[in-house]
Amino acid sequence: MVAEFRLVRAHTRIMHPLILLGLILVAGIFAGLGALVLRLTPWPGLRWSSLLWFVFSGFVGAGVYTLAYVAIFADATGALSTTTHLVFLLVGIPIVGSLVGWLGAGAATLISQRIQR
């Protein structure tokens, strides 16, 4: 029995580079949505901290929405069976992400105000 060693870049075992690129693009999209939403709403306002919490909360909200939607509407293989299901998933992701992102930014603002008292 001969042991075989292969040189594999560390990041390829953790995450495929295209997935990483997709996550960076989605973070940019949520940052743009966050800047728009936080600029239009008087509270919590557009600050770096609220924007970072918006993006983080938006990722979490979009992920949970996607998992719940696929669990409800996908077939046994995990595929969405109709175009309507796919469209509602893709339309719902930025809506839910923006709502949860705004709530996360607001919660972070309330917590920081409470700590500073």
Comparing C-alpha atoms, which of 36, 89, 87 is closest to residue 63?
89
pTM of this structure: 0.83
Residue 1 to residues 4, 6, 44, Cα–Cα distance (Å): 9, 16, 63
pLDDT in tens, the chain (117 residues): 555 555 555 555 667 788 889 999 999 999 999 999 999 999 999 999 999 999 999 999 999 999 999 999 999 898 999 999 999 999 999 999 999 999 999 999 999 999 998
User: Domain locations in the chain?
Assistant: 45-117
3-state secondary structure of 45: coil
* Tokens 């609220």 sit on residue: 50
DSSP designation for 41 = S
Of how many residues is the chain composed? 117
Residue 62: how many other CB atoms lie within 10 Å: 21
Sign of CA dihedral 12, 16, 21, 25: negative
